[in-house]
A and B are shown apart, each in its own frame.
Chain A
Amino acid sequence: MPHQSAVTVLATVPPDRVDDVREVLNEANRQGAGEVFRFAEVAGVHFARLVLVPQGPDSTGTLLPPSVVYMSEVDVPPSVHLADLVRRAGDELDKVFAYCDGYPAGGASEGERVAWLRSHRVPCAAFYVNTVGRGRQQMLNEARLREAIEDFLDRHRAELSASSPTRIRAAVQEYVTGREDLAWARSRPASPALRWRIRQAAHLLGVPLGGLVLLPFLVIGLPVWAVLLRWRERRDVPSRERPDRDHVRELASYEDFAAQNPFTAVGAVKPGRFRRGTLTAILFVVDYGVRHFFKRGNLAGVKTIHFARWLFIDGKRRVIFASNYDGSLESYMDDFIDKVAWGLNAVFSNGLGYPRTRWLVLDGAKDELAFKHYLRSHQLPTQVWYSAYDTLTTHNLRTNARVRAGLFGTLSPAETEAWLALL
């Protein structure tokens, strides 16, 4: 049984070839990302995207090169995924990466391409998974199960609605049992592999132990850090930039086709080692938090995010944030402001131009429009995007899982009623 992985492949594009790559991505968008890259056939893909990170300045004004980035959330190890992807859509990947330095196109073997892609992988600084261990196949199966049960209830509503909850559930059980194709529903979903769970447990304990060792340094260091932080916060200049109209229109042209949307943004880290160090530490804490605590459908109050990742690029001078979320960007940003502004502030206030914060977590995103302008300005068009379940929200997926979990096994009368209320 899987645990989900984040795959990121990033390759620099020669500036004079950016338009060519953009055209390749736009063409894939026109034909449909799923059709072109056959993501449905690639094992365990939840979401996938290709974006162009434009040439842009770091905090000192030095231009950083443009790059093309492939990102996906998958149920298999990243190297297995890349090999599978090359097998299914090698020719299409060739078009995307053709202009990148050293890409083995033109007659090269699959193995060489896979090796090149693997060598261009970028690790995540932090990776949030809505529900750890719930694989794509499980989600698709559970969606099918729920629909089958709903249809059954529709057909037999007249006779069933006079029955007790227990009898109704028994009728559903009998129906599902009689369906060969739903036989899997009789057992519980498998847990992630034991080795992986042991590693997670070691991480869960190891990090606080390491912190304990560092405690004396932290006790001395934290007050100094706080003073330095506050001093910098007062000096940092928030950007007053409003997103360019054409930019906003381009972003809008890729949004709101499905129940979910992709969000991709890039920003320069504020100058100096202090901010770089602070951001590295914060993302380390975020990673720890999402790995061990926010892994059951709720990211500090926000329940609508399927996946999110933060990663450093360009030698930690820029950061990419990418997520898949339910609903519109407006509702997503409102959720950020209303529910988890402190968390956003802790990370993004290390980014150049972010609205002014106090003590790292206060204010910042609470300046509604400044925050929304900041996000829109840093957002990148996600030209190519694929979702394996584009009509299902996190809420739906959770309901589906609960329908399956409560279908067989022993339930009390109250639990039986609650289970029926899911349908």
Chain B
Amino acid sequence: MVATLDLDDMQGLITRGYSTLRWASFLMLSITDPAGARAALGQLTPRVTSGRAEPSDTAVNLAFTADGMRLLGLETPGPEGFPEEFVSGMTDPDRSRFLGDTGENAPRYWRWGGPATPPVHAVALLYARDEPGLGRLEAEVRQVALATGSLAEVVRLGTAELTEREPFGFRDGISQPLIEGLPKATAAGAGSAAGGEVVKAGEFVLGYPNEYGLLTDRPLLPPPHDTAGLLPRVPGGTGADLGHNGSYLVFRQLRQDVEAFWGYLDEATRRPDGSGDPDARDALAARMVGRWPGGAPLVHAPLRDDPALATDNDFGYFATDRDGLRCPLGAHVRRANPRDSLDPRPGSAESVAIGRRHRLLRRGRAYADGGPGGGTERGLHFLCLNANISRQFEFIQHTWLNNPNFNGLYDSPDPLVAPRRNHRSTFTEQAEPLRTRRLDLPQFVSVRGGAYFFLPGLRALRFLCTATGEGGQR
């Protein structure tokens, strides 16, 4: 049974990535005066974009960290509350170890979200059709949110104009799960190639059945809360459902060392006489990624890029490329979405079904900032939405991307995005008769900031801004 989605109560970022709004910025906010912040956020709430209609000119979405929720007057409501990973946050030391945020990735070096910078309590996600439009939107939001001084701007994260390519030069965002119940998913239908991408709404939105047919844990408030009845009630109970139509937003600023990446590839593929070999360089890059810069998957285009396959997403690994001869076993896309290669029965529908419990709605945007010393820092503001951070984002990060033993490999974390830590990092290109090993891979991506946010439904947002305080509000 397909659940009916309450699109009017969801924030728009869940249902779409706003691809027509090519300019975006993210304002990280700190709450200095909770009562005033509630009022300011309450004024902003009518501007928040819902999931119903595609916005034509601008979009605004709001999300809160666990500390932000607390400051808004919502003490973690006992056992029926938020999951541990959200409450303790992305920078908890044990979580940092788990996520690979150690060494140069450690939160103490972060630009924002770490212990050395002001606390982040909320984020305003702003989208506009063009640059002037974004400027106007920012001014408007700042006017509402910051005027009274009860919210402070910790940092503004700008983005580059949205293109199909991420900073290393690869087409990005090709494989994206479709939320069951949305028109796109219905159109894709079951059985078709895209049908395999349809995932239960409960994997991304709280309050709907997930891939186990169950409701993911979500914050429920016992009776003294919400006497005004702003929130939906828990079916068969008296509690108010703060989580309904909400989601968790994982936000990580990932710096991409574009020069180091292509420089490494140049060096690694030089001919014996020392001259560069651009074809070999691009081929090695493609094997690390698992797709060509143009997007064609190596499983279908093992030898050269093929523009006709730029958005090809209709493939598995088991039948065509079990041994990684086309797309190496350690390639980035093979880890981020192993498709049909998962145990216990690779190649089966059951294998794909297990994979569906580890999917993310990616909503990232690339950035290019003027860094210190005039250089330009490039990278990705990685944003993704999921209902269960530990089973989805953290699992993918730890068990697939950063795992040096993924797919039976040795010393081989993700060649593209993983931290190197103290591992010897190896990238192996499987081949017949003999593989090629690339030893001591440098690190190309580092973490510059991050936080876990709760992206509430619109009713929950209104509740947070108006109903939780005991007074002192306007």
Contact = CB atoms under 8 A, between A and B. Distances in A.
A399 B408 contact: yes
A369 B433 contact: no
B84 A245 contact: yes
A153 interface: yes
Interface string A341-370: 000000000000000000000000011110
A303 interface: yes
Interface in A206-254: 241-242, 245, 248-249, 252-253
A257 B98 CA distance: 8
A116 B201 CA distance: 58
Interface stretch (A58-66, A119-127, A163-171): A163-171
A207 B182 CA distance: 56
A339 interface: yes
B399 A328 contact: yes
Contacts of A153: 434-435, 437
A301 interface: yes
Contact of A326 (B217, B405, B433, B439): B405
Interface stretch (B131-139, B156-164, B333-341, B387-395): B387-395
B216 interface: yes
Contacts of A174: none
Contacts of A190: none
Contacts of B313: none
Contact of B94 (A168, A249, A331, A334): A249
Nearest to A338: B354
B87 interface: yes
Given A327-B399, A334-B391, A161 B344 contact: no
Secondary structure type dominating chain B contacts = loop
A327 B408 contact: no
Interface in A370-404: 391-393, 395-396, 399
Contact of B343 (A242, A252, A339): A339
Given A256-B398, A327-B399, A330-B390, A301 B433 contact: no
A339 B344 contact: yes
A160 B434 contact: yes
A393 B405 contact: yes
A397 to B, nearest CB: 10
A167 to B, nearest CB: 9
A306 to B, nearest CB: 13
A391 B94 CA distance: 19
Contacts of B399: 327-328, 330-331
Contacts of B434: 153, 157, 160-161, 168, 420, 423
B269 interface: no
B190 interface: no
A334 to B, nearest CB: 7
Interface string B200-222: 00000000000010101100000
A369 B214 contact: yes
A369 B94 contact: no
B432 interface: yes
A302 B394 CA distance: 21
A154 interface: yes
A84 interface: no
B232 to A, nearest CB: 20
A327 B403 contact: yes
A423 B408 CA distance: 11
A150 interface: yes
A395 B433 contact: no
A160 B403 CA distance: 30
Contacts of A248: 84
Interface in B372-410: 390-391, 394-395, 398-399, 403-405, 408, 410
Contacts of B391: 330, 334
B175 interface: no
A194 interface: no
A94 interface: no
A98 interface: no
A259 interface: yes
Contact of A154 (B88, B323, B408, B439): B439
Contacts of A392: 405
Nearest to B394: A330
Contacts of B411: 391
A20 interface: no
Interface in A159-185: 160-161, 163-165, 168
A153 B354 CA distance: 36
A331 B98 CA distance: 13
B98 A328 contact: yes
Contacts of A368: 212, 214
Contacts of B344: 301-303, 339
B79 interface: yes
B357 interface: yes
A92 interface: no
B436 interface: yes
B97 interface: yes
Contacts of A252: 94-95, 98
Contacts of B343: 301, 303, 339
A302 B343 CA distance: 8
B430 interface: yes
B212 A366 contact: yes
Contact of B435 (A253, A328, A337, A423): A423
A331 B395 contact: yes
A110 interface: no
Contacts of A257: 97
A259 B433 contact: no
Nearest to A257: B97
Given A245-B84, A328-B399, A163 B433 contact: yes
A259 B430 contact: no
Interface in B66-109: 79, 84, 87-88, 92, 94-95, 97-98
Interface string B426-442: 00001111111101000
Contacts of A255: 94, 98
B402 to A, nearest CB: 10
Interface string B15-41: 000000000000000000000000000
A367 B213 CA distance: 9
Contacts of A326: 405
Given A328-B398, A396-B410, A367 B214 contact: yes
A421 interface: yes
Interface in B202-250: 212, 214, 216-217
Given A157-B436, A168-B434, A366-B212, A334 B395 contact: yes
A396 B405 contact: yes
A369 B216 contact: yes
6 closest Cβ pairs, A-B complex: A301-B344, A395-B408, A252-B94, A242-B79, A393-B405, A165-B433
Interface of A: 150, 153-154, 157, 160-161, 163-165, 168, 241-242, 245, 248-249, 252-253, 255-257, 259, 301-303, 326-328, 330-331, 334, 337-339, 366-369, 391-393, 395-396, 399, 417, 420-421, 423
Interface of B: 79, 84, 87-88, 92, 94-95, 97-98, 212, 214, 216-217, 323, 343-344, 354, 357, 390-391, 394-395, 398-399, 403-405, 408, 410-411, 430-437, 439
30 contacts: A165-B433, A245-B87, A249-B92, A255-B94, A256-B94, A256-B398, A257-B97, A259-B405, A301-B344, A303-B343, A328-B98, A328-B395, A328-B398, A330-B390, A330-B399, A334-B357, A334-B391, A338-B357, A368-B214, A369-B216, A369-B217, A391-B411, A393-B405, A395-B408, A396-B405, A396-B408, A396-B410, A420-B432, A420-B433, A421-B432
